[in-house]
Amino acid sequence: MDSILARAAENTPSKDGKRKQMSLTRTVYLRLRDEILTCKLAPGLEISEAELAQQFEVSKTPVREALAQLRQEGLVRTFPRRGYQISPITFGDMNELFDLRTILEAGAAELACEQITDDMLVELRELAVVAYEKEETQTIANFIAANRRFHIAIAAASGNSRLVNILARQIDELERFFYIGAQMRDVNSETNIDHLEIVDALARRDRKAARDLMVRHNDLTRQGLFQSLAMSRQAGTISL
């Protein structure tokens, strides 16, 4: 049994079948979600309950429940009598997500100028310089996690919890694009420079500069991801 699933089973009271089922479902869900977001399960790939149940050495029930949650998040699609498919990614999806993200983050950067603390600025500077190696999957994962924390931290500094929650959802939906982008081209330098400039603007409490820099950063990221997706399509890595 997969070590993660084994630990989940061992830590679940054997007499409580319902709790065990919930634990297995949660574990399968987290594992599948991670593999989808990191593109280990490629966009457009068809999967089945039976295959996944065999892979995770569990019954079909926790797999079915996990897939239902992923379908609600838009990461999985269902087809009658065919099974499931990892939701494809498209240029249109990315454009819509970046349009919304830019609107949210531009406003968040402005609001953060009024409430950000010195401790928050220190944390942002640390997150801004995280780098990765294209050939090392774990460093890519660390880089993308730091990038997420960086942007969420700025939203949190705005003091608006609803803004944080909405932005977190948008960033999660873009995570597959980020993995493809980081694997196709080295974005260390441009990301670090952009992030540090944004932190400097926040430190000066310069609302206009913070907003403008955030908009520019998102636009440049979007352009870079377009290039990466085009390269991936040409190479046959993904289908769009």
pTM of the model: 0.80
Percent of residues, the chain, with pLDDT higher than 70: 88
Residue ranges and CATH numbers for the domains of the chain are 3-86 (1.10.10.10), 91-235 (1.20.120.530)
CB 101 within 8 A of CB 174: yes
Digit-coded pLDDT (tens) for 14-50: 556 566 667 889 999 999 999 998 888 988 999 999 9
Whether the pLDDT of residue 237 is over 70: the answer is: no
**C-alpha span between 178 and 183 (Å, rounded):** 8
Q: Which residue has the higher pLDDT, 238 or 69?
A: 69
Token pair 């090392």: residue: 136
* Alpha-carbon span 9 to 77, nearest angstrom: 28
Q: pLDDT band for 95, please (50, 70, 90 cuts).
A: very high
Residues near 152 by beta carbon (within 8 Å), at least 6 away in sequence = 164, 167, 168, 171
Spell out a b/e string for 69-89, using b for 16 or more CB atoms within 10 Å of the CB, else e: bbeeeebbbeeeeebbebbeb
